Amino acid sequence: MQFVRTDIPDVIIVEPKIHGDERGYFVETYRADKLEEFLGYKINFCQDNESKSSYGVLRGLHYQLPPHAQTKLVRVIKGKVLDVAVDIRKSSPTFGQYVAVELSEENKKQLLIPRGFAHGFLVLEDDTVFAYKVDSYYSPECDRGIAFDDPEIGIDWRIPHDKLILSAKDKAQPKLSDTDDLFEYGINYYG
């Protein structure tokens, strides 16, 4: 298992080792000890989630506020997505910037998105199955979002906006500059 820091160093690509032969493959998708050794702190994942979506579905950009802020470890079981993490930590040197990584059933890459980031993904193949771990339970009171098409962030979603399929909730999210519900850079949200 290899860990690679992205252009926003707190967002980590996890590249598991794939053992394959004529029978198929085996991959170790999660090792708490190795991840914690790399990060230098402990993450207690408590819930796994899974979704199935069609080509063009865009889910996000979502996050939860403290005390229910979430770290996510995301991956694709079947299909392909463009996965995006946006830094929403005020005063961060990378505030408002994003990382986009293609995750697929072929490359088996995962993305670790820490607390203080908004997360979203665009489905690039029909019948894509997306799975992720979180370290805090969902809380409707702490649920927030940022507009997927905020021009100040400028995410290249790779397909025309008129081909995107979004929920009513995701169509109505505020721009980053229009929300005060953000994180502070330099605060340890892991207790």
Let me know if 68 is a catalytic residue: no
Query: Per the domain annotation, does 132 fall within a domain?
Result: yes
**16 belongs to a structural domain:** no
Domain that holds residue 52: 44-184
CATH of the domain at 48: 2.60.120.10
CB 166 within 8 A of CB 83: no
Identify the band that residue 191 occupies on the pLDDT scale cut at 50, 70 and 90: low
The one catalytic residue among 68, 132, 137, 185: 132
Element (DSSP H or E) covering residue 90: strand 89-90
Contact 175, 146 (CB under 8 A): yes
- Any catalytic annotation for residue 62? yes
State the pLDDT confidence band at 189, using cuts at 50, 70 and 90: confident
Provide the whole-model pTM. Answer: 0.95
If you search the block for the tokens 């029978």, which residue do you land on? 23
pLDDT digits (tens, 9 = 90+) for 65-110: 999 999 999 999 999 999 999 999 999 999 999 999 999 999 999 9
The answer to the question of residue 3 being in a domain is no
Over 90: is that where the pLDDT of 190 sits? no
How many structural domains is the chain composed of?
Answer: 1
Give me the catalytic one of 30, 62, 68, 190: 62
Question: Does 133 fall in a domain?
Answer: yes
Q: Is residue 153 part of a domain?
A: yes
Give a yes or no: residue 156 inside a domain.
Answer: yes
CB 175 within 8 A of CB 152: yes
Residue 6 lies in a domain: no
